[in-house]
Amino acid sequence: MIFLFFNLFLMAILFFFVITLMFIPYGFTAYSLITLITVPQQIINIAKNKAIRRNHALEHATINVLERYAGKNLPLSGLAQKDGFIISGAQDPGLVVEAAREGLRLLKQEECQLAIHRRCGTSIAIANFLAAVIFLIFLIQTGHFSILSIIIALLIANILGPYLGELTQKYFTTSCDVEDLEIVGIQPEFRSEEHYNVLLNYMPQGYFIRTECIKLIRD
């Protein structure tokens, strides 16, 4: 009796596994089509908003400076908004402000590499977009769904995604033009804005660094 039950249990697991494998390509196809539409639109929305691009650059610079202080990668995340950005994962608000001011100073000295961060949500979105494009190309070329196509698409996306993601950050989702940007305060709160900020890593809480664009009087 126990042996029969065990066999039925194994058959049920095998059946579930086979059904799952059958539907994975269909689900990935739907996901790819959605990604193909949403990611470019999100990138465009951010690219058109200079304030978010500047704060996105300063958010990355702040995290990069904090990681320099620590001498290692830290479990930090950020969310750029029109009037500032959130840093989540840091415990000391004084240290966050210090890092933000240092990051801003370095950006003003044209150390624009600090505006790029390898763990940015932009890079993740670009990798997903690349996987979707490659998979759909395979689908159009072969005319049928394939688990192998999904695996190949994901492998290529994981290899090329970080590089393309950094290029996208550099030219579309961050801006090193922070000459007129100033830090005006910090507060422990969560602020949410438009849906396109999903690309910039949705975080439930953290220190909000408020910024303001102050026009300089030039001789």
Instruction: Give 82-110 pLDDT, tens digit per residue.
Output: 999 999 988 888 999 999 999 999 999 99
Report the range of poorest mean pLDDT among 73-77, 180-184, 187-191: 187-191
Can you give the residue range of the structural domain that contains 137? Answer: 50-213
Between 145 and 49, the more confident residue is 49
Q: Does pLDDT of 31 surpass 60?
A: yes
Element (H, E) at 207: strand 207-213
Confidence of residue 28 (pLDDT cuts 50, 70, 90): confident
Q: Report if residue 16 sits inside a domain.
A: no
Rounded to the nearest 5°, which phi and psi values hold at 76?
-110, 150
Q: Report if residue 174 sits inside a domain.
A: yes
If one counts the domains in the chain, the total is 1
Q: Report if residue 126 sits inside a domain.
A: yes
pTM value? 0.79
Where are the strands (E) in the chain, listed by range?
Answer: 77-81, 84-88, 181-188, 207-213
Q: Report if residue 131 sits inside a domain.
A: yes
What integer pLDDT is reported at residue 11 of this predicted model? 66
What integer pLDDT is reported at residue 53 of this predicted model? 97
Q: Report if residue 172 sits inside a domain.
A: yes
Q: Report if residue 139 sits inside a domain.
A: yes
Q: Report if residue 107 sits inside a domain.
A: yes
What integer pLDDT is reported at residue 196 of this predicted model? 46
> Could you identify the residue written with the tokens 């990798």?
127
Contact between residue 60 and residue 116 where contact means Cβ atoms under 8 Å apart: yes
Q: Report if residue 21 sits inside a domain.
A: no
